[in-house]
Amino acid sequence: MFAFAPSAQSVVPVAGSPDVLFPVHRIYCVGRNYAEHDREMGGSGRGTPCFFAKPADAVVPINPKKTAEVDFPPMTENLQHEVELVIAIGKTAKNIAVEQARACVWGWAVGVDLTRRDLQAAAKEMRRPWTTAKGFDQSAPISFIKPAAEAPDMNNAELWLYVNNQEKQKGLTSDMIWSIDEVISEISRYWTLQPGDLIFTGSPAGVSKIEKGDVVRAGCSGVGTIEFKLV
């Protein structure tokens, strides 16, 4: 018996089968996983990867045939976009080898890690967690998930993002500092990956400020596209 009705399960539809739903367990994110983005954020290259998390209900599944609406978050004067390849995990994995990592992948998506950059900068200065900067409501717009069996090799996929039809980000997953398989393996050392987990794998250079009323359009080759308006 529950004290009150539990919240609805967060889900993301499966591409091509929208009645089939991927239940979201946890959302892991990799910070500064592209060399150029790492440099623009003040980093210096490959080191121990930076992980952070978003709550499962931060996802905003976006139908590729429609422009969605995403709420502009409160408490920020510098909201920024970060387009990313998202890994959808389909098997339990704990402390797995890099060579075993790809077998855990259920599918792929393209997502946008929305970030309250001013709050993140303040947290960094005070050496505090990034939760308010990264883990807010609707901070993870995401495409429908493409099953791995239906997707091409994602090791050299192209990512791109436009704001109001102006190109802001463009890059290749082959430019990752930590590869797809390395990311999965490394996360599994800290947490037991479970079916339903999503991993945002990092963003190429070109992140920029976005405002209420802006239309963001993003995509990943072989996976899909999303479009949303900040309201």
User: How many domains would you assign to the chain?
Assistant: 1
Give domain status of residue 5, yes or no: no
| C-alpha–C-alpha distance, residues 50 and 45, integer Å | 12
Range of the domain at 189: 11-230
Whether this model's pTM surpasses 0.85:
yes
Give domain status of residue 121, yes or no: yes
Percent of the chain with pLDDT over 70: 95
Residue 6 has pLDDT above 80, yes or no: yes
**69 within 8 A of 231, measured Cβ to Cβ:** yes
Amino acid at 118: D
Cβ neighbours around 111 below 10 Å, total: 30
Token pair recorded at residue 173: 């997953």
Q: How confident is the model at residue 20 (pLDDT cuts 50, 70, 90)?
A: very high
pLDDT in tens, 153-192: 999 999 999 999 999 999 999 999 999 999 999 999 999 9
Percent of the chain with pLDDT over 90: 91
Give domain status of residue 1, yes or no: no
Burial of 218 (0-12, 13-18, 19+ CB in 10 A): buried
Position 34 scores a pLDDT of 87
Write the CATH number for 106.
3.90.850.10
* Dihedral sign from CA coordinates of 102, 103, 108, 111: negative
**90 within 8 A of 20, measured Cβ to Cβ:** no
pLDDT in tens, 83-106: 999 999 999 999 999 999 999 999
